[in-house]
A = this chain, B = another copy of it.
Amino acid sequence: MGETFIMDEVTSQAIADAFKVFGDKTRVRILFCLLENEQCVDDIAVQLNMEQSAISHQLRILKNARLVSARREGRFSYYSLMDEHVSVILNMGLEHATEDM
């Protein structure tokens, strides 16, 4: 009794890694781009006024984290949010960030 639960390092690292993906401005903006419709890489780059390469690098991170999925159609890769869980989390972050503004 009174013992404190010590979260092991592997699990706490996994938790931190999960949150870390949302912890970058560019990745957040990309995810918001995908809220309504799927988008191809260059569309996102144009909308965010960033280099195609930068977007592609971040999309890989989002894909590895299973937050987005990619669909190839000809020369284009269309990215979309993996599931509605992602938009729920995004909107949680938005509400928190704008609650005292």
Interface residues of A (CB under 8 A from B): 2, 4-7, 9, 11-20, 22-29, 32-33, 35-37, 39, 47-48, 90, 93-94, 96-98
Contact = CB atoms under 8 A, between A and B. Distances in A.
Q: How many copies does the complex hold?
A: 2
* Interface SS of A by simple majority: helix
B23 A9 contact: no
A19 B16 contact: no
Given A19-B19, A22-B16, A39 B4 contact: yes
Contacts of A7: 28-29, 32-33
Residue of A14, A18, A19 contacting most chain B CB atoms (<10 Å): A19
B19 A93 contact: yes
